[in-house]
Amino acid sequence: MSTVLVTGGSGFIGGHCIVQLLAAGHQVRTTVRNLKREGEVRAMLKEGGVEPGPRLSFAAADLMQDAGWAEAVAGCDFVLHVASPFPAGVPKHEDDLIIPAREGALRVLRASRDAGVKRVVLTSSFAAIGYGHPPGKTQFTEADWTDPQRPGVAAYQKSKTLAERAAWDFIAREGGGLELSVVNPVGVFGPVLGPDYSSSIMLLKQLLDGAMPAVPRLYFGVVDVRDVADLHLRAMTHPAAKGERFLAVAGDFLALIDIARILRTRMGDVARKVPTRQLPDWLVRLAALWTPVARQTLPELGKVKNGSNEKARRVLGWAPRSNAECLVATVESLQRLGLLKDGPKP
Q: Given 160, 205, 273, 305, which residue is catalytic? A: 160
Q: What angle do CA 63, 69, 70 make, to 5 degrees?
A: 160
In sequence order, what are the residues at sequence separation of 6 or more whose Cβ sits closer than 8 angstroms to the Cβ of residue 163?
84, 98, 101, 102, 104, 105, 122, 124, 128
Contact 197, 136 (CB under 8 A): no
Q: What angle do CA 302, 307, 312 make, to 5 degrees?
A: 165
In sequence order, what are the residues at sequence separation of 6 or more whose Cβ sits closer than 8 angstroms to the Cβ of residue 316?
231, 234, 235, 238, 240, 241, 246
Other C-beta atoms lying within 10 Å of the C-beta of residue 148: 20
User: In the beta sheet, which residues pair with residue 179?
Assistant: 119
Identity of the residue numbered 59: A
Rounded Cα distance, 194 and 209, in Å: 18
Identity of the residue numbered 172: A
160 catalytic? Reply is yes
Task: Report, as residue numbers or ranges, the catalytic residues.
Answer: 160
